[in-house]
């Protein structure tokens, strides 16, 4: 049976995922155009702080937009 988590736990997990996604885009994809033109514009902002992560993690629509942006970065990273 799946464990049900409360909203604060969800936000905490999302914040960690955001940090990992940011590291992946910057370090593993490593394409400046993808990072600057796509990720910083539609994902996690450059120079983000904890409040930026909380804002994204708490807003379901913004969270989904960021996840979709990450997926786009990954897809483009594979073709480069």
Q: What is the pLDDT of residue 5?
A: 86
Residue 1 within any structural domain of the chain: no
Confidence of residue 22 (pLDDT cuts 50, 70, 90): very high
**Is the predicted pLDDT of residue 79 greater than 90, yes or no?**
no
Residue 18 within any structural domain of the chain: yes
Residue 55 within any structural domain of the chain: yes
* Domain region containing 44: 7-79
Least confident of 14-18, 38-42, 57-61, 76-80: 76-80
Task: Give yes or no for a contact between 66 and 44, defined as CB atoms under 8 angstroms apart.
Answer: yes
Q: What is the pLDDT of residue 80?
A: 67
Statement: the pTM of the whole predicted model exceeds 0.75: yes
Residue 2 within any structural domain of the chain: no
Whole-angstrom Cα distance, residue 75 to residue 63? Answer: 18
Q: What is the pLDDT of residue 3?
A: 83
Mean pLDDT of 71-75: 96
Number of domains in the chain: 1
């Amino acid at each position: 049976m799946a464990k049900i988590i409360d909203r604060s736990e969800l936000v905490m997990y999302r914040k960690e995922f955001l940090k990992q996604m940011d590291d992946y885009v910057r370090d593993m994809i490593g394409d400046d155009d993808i990072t600057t033109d796509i990720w910083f514009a539609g994902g996690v902002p450059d120079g983000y702080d904890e409040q930026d992560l909380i804002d994204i993690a708490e807003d379901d629509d913004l969270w989904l937009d960021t996840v979709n942006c990450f997926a786009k970065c990954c897809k483009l990273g594979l073709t480069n």
